[in-house]
Structure 1
Amino acid sequence: MRYISTRGRAPELGFCDALLAGLATDGGLYVPQTWPTVNAPTAGSYADRAAAIMQPFIGTEIDAGTMARLSREAYSSFRHPDVVPLVQIAPEHYLLELFHGPTLAFKDVALQLIGRLFDHVLSQRNQRVMIVGATSGDTGSAAIDGVKSCNNVDIVILYPRGRVSDVQRRQMTTVDAPNVHTVAIDGTFDDCQDLVKAMFNDAPFRDANNLSAVNSINWARVMAQTVYYFTALQALGRSASFSVPTGNFGNVLAGWIAKQMGAPIEKLIVGSNSNDILTRFFDTHAMQMTSVVPTLSPSMDIQVSSNFERLLFEMNDRDGGATAQQLDAFRANGKMSVEPDQYASWIAPMFRAHRCDDAETLSVMKRMHNDHGMLVDPHTA
């Protein structure tokens, strides 16, 4: 499988090079040249099924046996034998539990694997990289846990001071490993993300420090997240819609990609908090930046959802030049819209959106506890 940039000006790469690069040299995000159709296996452990579902994206660059071993190692640290169990909460409602990893964040599902992929590829090449990432909370702690034992990786995580939960701040800043570094930034998550993108866009700096990324701008993150859409539907035994708490758009995009691969997904519901740029886009066909508002769900306190670029690339019929032009205008003017036919073809058939403020979040948390005896976190609510 070859990978191309959403902005059309970076060279094509194989899987391992795209994994290590993270961001394309033209500032775009890597996507596969084609979306493979997958006959997802129904037998075996989650780790074995995950390896089989992801193998078409990897091709021959990592053989199937090695990929299965890395997958088993990654998911051996999860506290539930099913890794991501599907739990029924009402006759037509289920909850996919993504919190059984070492840092309790859903991102453990991808990042425990990615740390092992990095170390495997780097050891084969006798190379070392520096991972640089921005986090609103869960990415940082999950990324650090995923690579803290890697022999060939240093990691630097930027987070907005006072805008991540105290638990996640401690998860990031108390790791006693020489390859782990955390930096508090006076600003928002988007400011942190802009700093990371600026480092990657500075070619001499990027090359001198062998920079790489593991947040959801890295294709492998999204790839790994497609798996649990397949396993959830297998556990359910029928097609279904998914409601996905959404910040950087990577998790819900993984659902869209799973649909392209053959998963019987009916609708994807994009859940936003008061930072509702995505909800407003799905309602009005237009995206307009506003100030970030701190909420009870800080991992979703984002205005610029980086992974939306991958969907925009598809809406532009994979025209990298058109995608780059739209995004440049968005950065310059703080707003962007899509044509009605693009919206009708790409958005309306698959996506719905809902905004949930802190009051509604607390109400849902209370109702889930009273009605079902479940204590859900604000992002789930």
Structure 2
Amino acid sequence: MHYISTRGGIQPIAFKDAVMMGLATDGGLLLPEAYPQVSRQQLEEWRSLSYQELAFHIISGFVDDIPPADLKDLINRSYATFSHPEITPVVKHDGVYILELFHGVTLAFKDVALQFLGNLFEYILAERNEQLNIIGATSGDTGSAAIHGVRGKKGINIFILHPHGKTSPVQALQMTTVTDANVHNIAVSGTFDDCQDIVKALFNDLEFKKKYSLGAVNSINWARVLAQVVYYFYAWLRVTDEDERKVSFSVPTGNFGDIFAGYVAKKMGLPIDKLLLATNENNILTRFVNDGDYSLSDVVSTASPSMDIQLASNFERYLFYLYNQDSARVRGAFTQLKEQGRITFSSEEMARVQADFASASVDQAQTLETIGSFNRETGYILDPHTAVGVRAALDLLPADIARVCLATAHPAKFGEAVEKATSAATPIPPGIAALHGKPTRCDLMDADLEQVKDFFIKHIV
């Protein structure tokens, strides 16, 4: 299995090289040359597998340069940190299935991928006797999950940029209370998109990237997406039996990474009826799916801050397929976005988009109302991001199919919003309660590339 760039400027590379490259050296995103195909017979054979066993079967189809025994060990160690034996259990409430992705160390879905990626990095670096300096941007959950995935690991430094004051208090504490020598938190006076622009600029400076051995943990790293593909298969196997029941997934998303993993699962042959893309007021992706309007606007702060994004990194991966793998068109689209602030699409392309996805935008009032009403009716507490997906599913997906809603974070990470919606305090897990009062370390900076670059160079150890 080899990997290519959406922008067509690199020769195909192996999986381990793709992991270490992160963002392709031509500025594009890496994708496999082909997708392993899964038959219905294989799906039936996988029904009795544990999450770890299923992950091995799926991931090994994309990896041929790590011995199977080593890959199994990496997977098993990655999910040994989870608090639930099923890793990503599925529960049913009020006619929808909730796929709980928050049983990892930071109580967010990012742990599913970043525990695996952290172990991958350590494995490859030890094999090559190299060092890696990770730099990433976060709207909240990626940063803490990445930090906890690599804290204390040999040969790795990590620098995480987050928008100052625009994450939840718990998200900020999960990052800034990690004071290991190899961990550095940077609070940027700006938005997540400002943070992401700085990170992309550093990766696009190829001389700087090579000199300082930059590595990526954002979902621009293919291994992140790959690890997330697994739980679509796992959930499908839990909500179906041997009949042909339809299954749709509702995915709260801002950066297009989580729903792109579902798109990959579908390309592999998983019989997904519909992928429902749910956004908050930062609804560039909903405008794209419903109206063909992919135009930039200002970021709005909401109760679901991990989705407060306008420029979706993983959208480029989908464009590559929408444009029939025409790298020149992908490059042209991002030139248009830079010059005009928008990308335009033909009616034929939009017909294909709407065959792949449905979409809905759920505002803050609807989000809080959904948290409250769902809790009153079921006793179950949704976090604000999950509530966006649940509301979209209840509004748009038919009740006679299996509606799987991705629960991307534990509600305690967004206690203020949940308490406002339910008029009751959210039970606090011990791991979150222990954060309060711990020493913190964080550096506040302007959204300035050179300032961040200077800090980075001075703090490499």
TM-score range, shorter chain: over 0.9
In the TM superposition, residue 177 of structure 1 has moved relative to its aligned partner by 1.0
Question: CA 1:260–1:12 in 2, change beyond 3 Å: closer, same or farther?
Answer: same
Q: Distance in 2 between matches of 1:323 and 1:265?
A: 26
Q: Does structure 1 residue 213 correspond to structure 2 residue 219?
A: no
2:154 aligned residue (151, 154, 176): 151
Indicate the residue corresponding to 1:256 in structure 2.
Answer: 263
Structure 2 residue aligned with 1:376? 382
Deviations 1:215-236 (A, max 9, x none): 1000000000000000001011
Give the whole-Å Cα distance in 2 for the aligned partners of 1:299 and 1:259: 25
Q: Which has the larger radius of gyration?
A: 2
Q: What is the CA deviation profile of residues 125-184 of structure 1, one whole-angstrom value per residue up to 9, with x for unaligned ones? A: 111111110000000000000111321211100011111111111111111211111101
* SS of corresponding position for 1:81: coil
Equivalent position of 2:128 in the other structure: 125
Cα offset for 1:90? 2.8
Cα offsets for 1:310-343 (capped at 9, x unmatched) = 0000011111111011011102211112111122
Q: Where does the alignment leave 5 or more consecutive residues of structure 2 unmatched?
A: 388-461
Paired position in structure 2 for 1:280 = 287
Hey, what's the Cα distance between the residues in 2 that align with 1:340 and 1:15?
A: 36
Q: Secondary structure at the match of 2:136?
A: strand
User: Does 2:7 match 1:4?
Assistant: no
Partner of 2:85: 81
Letter of the 2:3 counterpart: Y
Indicate the SS of the match to 1:310: helix
**Which amino acid in the other structure matches residue 231 of structure 2?**
Y
User: Where do residues 1-381 of structure 1 align in structure 2 (5 Å cutoff)?
Assistant: 1-38=1-38, 39-40=42-43, 41-59=46-64, 61-91=65-95, 93-237=96-240, 238-345=245-352, 347-381=353-387
1:273 is aligned with what amino acid?
N
Q: For 2:356, give the aligned amino acid.
A: M
Q: Is the 8 A contact 1:266 1:350 kept in 2?
A: no
C-alpha distance in 2 between matches for 1:42 and 1:64 = 21
Q: Is the 8 A contact 1:233 1:239 kept in 2?
A: no
Does structure 1 retain, via aligned residues, the 8 Å contact 2:52–2:76? yes
Kindly provide the amino acid, as one letter, of the partner of residue 326 in structure 1. A
Between Structure 1 and Structure 2, how many residues are aligned? Answer: 378
Query: 1:226 touches 1:254 (CA, 8 Å); kept in 2?
Result: yes
SS in structure 2 opposite 1:265?
coil
Identity of aligned residues (%): 48
Query: What do you get for the CA RMSD once the two structures are aligned?
Result: 1.0
Measure how far apart 1:368 and its partner are.
1.1
Q: Structure 1 stretch 101-110 or stretch 279-288: which is displaced more? A: 279-288
- SS of the counterpart of 1:82? coil
Post-superposition CA distance 1:224-261 (Å, at most 9, x none): 00000000010111440000001100000000100011
- Give ranges in structure 1 of 5+ residues lacking alignment: none
Hey, which bits of structure 1, 4+ residues long, moved more than 6 A? none
- Give the whole-Å Cα distance in 2 for the aligned partners of 1:239 and 1:283: 23
For residues 59-85 of structure 1, the C-alpha deviation after alignment (integer angstroms, 9 at most, x for no partner) is 2x1111111111111101111100000
Give secondary structure in 1 for the equivalent of 2:355. coil
Separation in 2 of the partners of 1:350 and 1:201? 31
CA contact (8 A) 2:284 2:293 kept: no
Task: Report the TM-score, using the length of structure 2 for normalisation.
Answer: 0.81
Report which stretch shifted further, 146-155 or 197-206: 146-155
